[in-house]
């Protein structure tokens, strides 16, 4: 409400109290956390696709070491429970980065970094530095989370891509080779464009799963929407400026509506992508569309 002073919440009632309550600093962080989830999805999806393509191409390579590496990445990561992987990978990545910095920046230190249960590196090798501002710590944690999500979902995407590559009719590739195209040209001009129509159904499922696992950011120390919903919704005593009973049900209801809306929008987008890529293709979906046009 315009013109309402929120300096003393104890003097407020009704809508005035509620409007001031919803405009507190923590609620602003809660609203921004929705943007955090969207940014995570926007960055993770293309990075995971890149990992997936590399894994799928590697699994089909002629060189045995490359083929084993691609197949190993896809098989191993898919075989580890997601929550275990999400808890392990950020720690492993963080320690790996710090270890490399320690060896490069502190070569005079001869003591091992692994000392019992402790992982000890020189001060200047830490990521981020203790003197760095808080926002840099948060960005670094978010980057580790994005990389972890991308590695996990890249393996699942890689398995989808591998099946999609195999689904492209062989006669199209042979025709391209007969016209004198090199293997690289066949891949970029024929195989890769044709592959997407077979990969889209699997990728749409992976996208939906990725949306559903974004609350795992809470486990990685990122202050996401789940963190703030639990923090703001829990009962607050008179020691707080805006005391209230347990309102977690209502906050999580907001999260439910947010995720349902996001999945519905995603369904519409993927349906349009499928319709676009199916048109004119030698697939069941493309044949159905051509039949409808012919009518």
- For the cut 70, the answer to whether the pLDDT of residue 87 exceeds it is yes
Whether 60 contacts 67, CB under 8 Å: yes
Which parts of the chain are beta strand (E)?
Answer: 114-115, 118-119
Question: Which pLDDT score, from 0 to 100, does residue 277 have?
Answer: 75
Question: What is the sign of the dihedral through the CA atoms of 225, 229, 230 and 236?
Answer: positive
Q: Which two tokens stand for residue 15?
A: 């809508």
Residues in the chain: 295
CATH superfamily for 26-215+248-280 is MetI-like (1.10.3720.10)
- 286 pLDDT tier (thresholds 50, 70, 90): very low
Q: Which carries the bigger pLDDT value, residue 240 or residue 230?
A: 230
Q: How confident is the model over 161-180, as pLDDT tens digits?
A: 999 999 888 888 888 888 88
- 155 pLDDT tier (thresholds 50, 70, 90): very high
Whether 199 contacts 274, CB under 8 Å: no
Q: How confident is the model over 46-85, as pLDDT tens digits?
A: 999 999 999 999 998 889 999 999 999 999 888 888 777 7
Give the C-alpha separation, 204 to 220, whole Å.
Answer: 25
Give the C-alpha separation, 195 to 153, whole Å.
Answer: 18
Q: Which two tokens stand for residue 77?
A: 């990561």
Q: Which two tokens stand for residue 132?
A: 């760095």
- For the cut 80, the answer to whether the pLDDT of residue 7 exceeds it is no
Q: How confident is the model over 93-123, as pLDDT tens digits?
A: 888 888 898 888 888 887 888 877 778 888 8
């Amino acid at each position: 409400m315009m013109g309402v002073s929120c300096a003393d919440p104890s003097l407020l009632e009704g809508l005035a109290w509620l409007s001031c309550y919803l405009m507190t600093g923590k609620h602003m962080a809660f609203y921004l956390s929705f943007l955090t989830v969207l940014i995570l999805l926007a960055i993770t999806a293309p990075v995971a696709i890149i990992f997936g393509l590399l894994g799928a191409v590697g699994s089909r390579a002629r060189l045995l070491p490359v083929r084993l590496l691609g197949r190993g990445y896809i098989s191993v990561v898919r075989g580890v429970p997601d929550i275990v992987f999400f808890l392990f990978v950020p720690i492993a990545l963080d320690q790996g980065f710090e270890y490399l910095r320690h060896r490069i920046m502190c070569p005079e230190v001869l003591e091992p970094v692994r000392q019992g249960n402790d992982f000890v590196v020189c001060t200047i090798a830490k990521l981020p530095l203790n003197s760095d501002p808080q926002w840099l710590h948060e960005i670094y944690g978010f980057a580790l989370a994005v990389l972890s999500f991308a590695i996990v979902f890249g393996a699942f995407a890689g398995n989808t891509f591998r099946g999609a590559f195999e689904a492209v009719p062989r006669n199209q590739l042979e025709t391209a080779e007969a016209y004198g195209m090199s293997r690289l040209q066949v891949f970029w001009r024929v195989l890769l464009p044709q592959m997407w129509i077979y990969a889209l159904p699997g990728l749409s499922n992976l996208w939906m799963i990725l949306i559903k696992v974004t609350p795992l950011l809470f486990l990685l120390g990122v202050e996401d929407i789940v963190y703030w919903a639990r923090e703001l919704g829990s009962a607050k005593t008179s020691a707080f400026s805006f005391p209230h009973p347990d309102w977690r049900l209502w906050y999580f209801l907001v999260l439910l509506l947010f995720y349902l809306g996001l999945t519905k929008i995603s369904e519409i987008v993927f349906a349009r992508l499928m319709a676009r890529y199916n048109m004119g293709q030698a697939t069941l979906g493309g044949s159905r569309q051509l039949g409808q046009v012919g009518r």
